[in-house]
């Protein structure tokens, strides 16, 4: 007996998938912003002259990069809740995504900072810029320009990684897709639609990243 495709279940329940897309985008955007802040602080710690601070930041990076994201997510959702305040699924998902992205951002930004020649920092100081201005204008912005491609690729991976948080019932796109599948039993149609939506989200993010790059970093070229 041939399989009969019934994609109308997607059109009839588009509101469920749209709600899932909304939470997916919210989690991804917040985790990227917070993770970038963690990454900047972590990169500063990694490049600091304090050995202990640098080792602590390195330990955080290695711990995250050498454990599965699902284990990190379950540890935060169940482990922390068992010994402290109970976290909701959405908050736990955001915390896990932020910590995970922050570790990878730390190493990417560290590489960008180390790509800046020390003579540029000395030139900034000679122009009368204070340390904060030197870091923001002479170090951080050129560093971000140098590693922008790697950083945006990691952001796309974060967007796709957000599907894992469905395991703790965070109502993002994959969770909503699984819910729809359990209600309609149309496995192929639902997961095919999810795949298309994730492709569209990833390509849309890459396009947005390219537009941001043109606006922010086309004024000059950093080597």
Are 95 and 114 in contact by the 8 Å Cβ rule? The answer is no
C-alpha closest to that of 201 among 84, 27, 33, 8: 27
| 113 in a structural domain | yes
Q: What does the pLDDT read at residue 133?
A: 77
Mean pLDDT of 47-66: 94
Least confident of 18-22, 138-142, 177-181: 138-142
Q: Report the percent of the chain where pLDDT is more than 90.
A: 70
| 198 in a structural domain | yes
- Please give the residue that has the higher pLDDT: either 139 or 161: 161
| 173 in a structural domain | yes
| 3 in a structural domain | no
Residue 119 corresponds to which tokens in the numbers above? Answer: 């003579």
| 15 in a structural domain | yes
In CATH, what number is assigned to the domain containing residue 63? 1.10.3720.10
Question: Tokens 């960008």 map to which residue?
Answer: 112
| 116 in a structural domain | yes
Alpha carbon separation from 130 to 112, 120, 144 (Å, rounded): 21, 14, 20
Residue 219 corresponds to which tokens in the numbers above? Answer: 């004024």
Whether residue 141 has pLDDT greater than 50: yes
How far apart are alpha carbons 81 and 87 in whole angstroms?
6
How far apart are alpha carbons 94 and 205 in whole angstroms?
19
221, with CB counted inside 10 A (0-12, 13-18, 19+), is: exposed
Residue 110, CA atoms < 13 Å, CB-side half-sphere: 20
Range of the domain at 150: 8-217
Q: What does the pLDDT read at residue 120?
A: 75
Whether residue 67 has pLDDT greater than 60: yes
168, with CB counted inside 10 A (0-12, 13-18, 19+), is: buried
* pLDDT tens-place string over residues 167-181: 999 999 999 999 999
Residue 78 corresponds to which tokens in the numbers above? Answer: 């169940």
Q: What does the pLDDT read at residue 192?
A: 96
**Buried/exposed 93-127: b ≥16 CB within 10 Å, e otherwise:** bbbbbbbbbbbbbbbbbbebbeebeeeebeebeee
pTM for this entry: 0.90
How far apart are alpha carbons 221 and 223 in whole angstroms?
7
Per the structure, how many domains does the chain have?
1
| 223 in a structural domain | no
Q: What does the pLDDT read at residue 6?
A: 87
**Buried/exposed 140-165: b ≥16 CB within 10 Å, e otherwise:** bbbbbbbbbebbbebbbebbebbbbb
Q: What does the pLDDT read at residue 223?
A: 41
| 203 in a structural domain | yes
């Amino acid at each position: 007996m041939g399989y009969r495709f019934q994609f109308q279940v997607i059109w009839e329940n588009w509101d469920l998938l749209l709600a899932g897309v909304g939470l997916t985008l919210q989690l991804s955007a917040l985790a990227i912003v917070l993770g970038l802040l963690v990454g900047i602080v972590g990169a500063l710690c990694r490049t600091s002259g304090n050995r202990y601070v640098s080792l602590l930041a390195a330990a955080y990076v290695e711990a995250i990069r050498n454990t599965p994201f699902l284990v990190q997510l379950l540890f935060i959702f169940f482990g922390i809740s068992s010994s402290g305040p109970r976290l909701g699924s959405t908050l736990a998902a955001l915390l896990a995504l932020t910590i995970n992205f922050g570790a990878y951002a730390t190493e990417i930004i560290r590489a960008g900072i180390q790509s800046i020649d020390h003579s540029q920092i000395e030139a900034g100081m000679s122009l009368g810029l204070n340390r904060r201005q030197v870091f923001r204008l002479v170090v951080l912005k050129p560093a971000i320009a140098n590693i922008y491609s790697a950083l945006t690729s990691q952001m796309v991976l974060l967007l796709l990684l957000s599907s894992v948080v469905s395991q703790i019932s965070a109502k993002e796109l994959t969770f909503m897709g699984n819910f729809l599948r359990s209600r309609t039993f149309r496995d192929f149609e639902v997961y095919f639609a999810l795949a298309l939506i994730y492709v569209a989200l990833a390509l849309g993010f890459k396009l947005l990243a390219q537009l941001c790059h043109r606006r922010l970093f086309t004024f000059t070229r950093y080597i």
